[in-house]
Amino acid sequence: MISLRLFSPRLFASVSLLLALFASLSSFAAEPLKLKTVRIATVVFSNAGKVTFNGPTYLMDKDPWLKQELAKRGVELEWVPAATASVGTFINEEFANKRIDFAFYGDLPTIILNSSGVSTKLLAAGGIGNNVYLVVPPDSTAKSIDDLKGKRIALHRGRPWELSFAKLLDSRHLGFDDFRIFNLNPQAGAAALSAGRVDGFFTLSDAFLLEDKKVGKIIWSSKQAPADWRMRAELFGASDFVAQQPQVTQLIVTAYLKALKWASEEQNKAEYIKLQAQSGQPESVLLREVAGESWKDHFSPLIDGNLRQHYQDGIAYSLKAKLIRNDIKVDDLLDARFVEQGLKDLNLSDEWKAHSSTNP
């Protein structure tokens, strides 16, 4: 039998001190570290040796409001640049490795990310989306996608506009197997079209540049299609960060809404187009991209029926095309709380009108 005399009062005091120390350390470890930096990834353009942010993020960076509000909380703002050539892959890796908290980027990459088990939330829409275009050589007799069946088409696979292309094919009862698809980025695709190595090229507003250079002509655009066919890019946040830092998340969304409000005002249109032209796209191209459409709607942040339909279709397509293995629920991806609160705080609740999907 062990003698109780071995446990002296001094030993009990030492043990009690150690237990208290361990309890203190455990409590400290359980407390979340104080947030020091919020990191936002955004597309950047390099033109003539000058790097510029894309669209509203340029305005968010120039407006001191967000930096000042974060500074009040002892938090710094860090922009994480994403090159246009590898936006989706880069941002997905940054989210997966917890090196960013927010990002502005497109639909298919984020669907792939969430299917892999890395959860993000769509916090605000990126307007009504960008148009996509089908371009053919200037001497082509093709009038529609049907006329290109069996022909060579350049398309950058895995980028947001692949979903738009898939919708176009589906509307004509066609499939990817009906064409010879060349997986080329926009620069390589434009070069292939110019050199006559492909019969068609599916791309963004750079299609106008090809027409201007007389090396291509547009035979179809999403301006002729339902709104949810467009290429989309939104504001996403890491789900863990959003849950743990709702006040900071609200600041980010509100700053974005302030930028959208300024950009959407008709009197600021010329200045905004000029800022956008710093990316290298001529103002004439940018103006043709939005011609005949509501300028204000281009900056709608609303998570509405059109957006929901777009992402629901994107998930279904990703499963069908085997881009993802695990299904995700569109309602798990969308989080409209911060947009609604931000619009209310800025007295902008009636600024934009929500749209229901035209699809069944």
Q: Which residues, including other chains, have CB under 8 Å from residue 260's CB and lie 6 or more apart?
A: 56, 127, 299, 300, 301
Which pLDDT value is given to residue 6? 38
Average pLDDT of the residues in 34-52: 87
Residue 280: which pLDDT band, with cuts at 50, 70 and 90? confident
Which pLDDT value is given to residue 32? 54
Report how far residue 183's alpha carbon sits from residue 162's, in angstroms, rounded to the nearest whole number.
11
Take residue 114 and report the two structure tokens written for it.
């969430």
Residue 46: which pLDDT band, with cuts at 50, 70 and 90? confident
pLDDT surpassing 90 at residue 330:
yes
Distances (CA, A) of 327 to 111, 113, 338: 9, 12, 25
Q: What is the pLDDT of residues 194-224, one digit of tens each?
A: 999 999 999 999 999 999 999 999 999 999 9
* Alpha helices, DSSP H, located in the chain: 9-30, 56-62, 65-71, 87-96, 107-115, 161-171, 186-194, 207-212, 239-244, 246-264, 269-276, 283-290, 305-320, 330-333, 337-345
CA dihedral of 190, 193, 195, 196, whole degrees rounded to 10: 170
Average pLDDT of the residues in 181-195: 95
Average pLDDT of the residues in 170-190: 96
pLDDT surpassing 80 at residue 1:
no
Average pLDDT of the residues in 27-52: 76
Residue 358: which pLDDT band, with cuts at 50, 70 and 90? low
Q: What is the pLDDT of residues 339-351, one digit of tens each?
A: 999 999 999 999 9
Contact 223, 229 (CB under 8 A): no
Which pLDDT value is given to residue 357? 63
Contact 214, 196 (CB under 8 A): no
Q: Which residues, including other chains, have CB under 8 Å from residue 43's CB and lie 6 or more apart?
A: 53, 54, 57, 82, 83, 84, 87, 104, 105, 233
Of residues 25 and 54, more confidently modeled: 54
Which pLDDT value is given to residue 114? 98
* Amino acid letter, 166: A
Which pLDDT value is given to residue 21? 47
Radius of gyration of the chain (CA): 25
Residue 85: which pLDDT band, with cuts at 50, 70 and 90? confident
Sketch out the chain's domains with CATH numbers: 37-129+232-345 (3.40.190.10), 133-229 (3.40.190.10)
Which pLDDT value is given to residue 35? 96
Q: Which residues, including other chains, have CB under 8 Å from residue 177's CB and lie 6 or more apart?
A: none
pLDDT surpassing 80 at residue 23:
no
Report how far residue 108's alpha carbon sits from residue 322's, in angstroms, rounded to the nearest whole number.
12
Take residue 82 and report the two structure tokens written for it.
């994403």
Which pTM value belongs to this model? 0.87
Residue 278: which pLDDT band, with cuts at 50, 70 and 90? confident
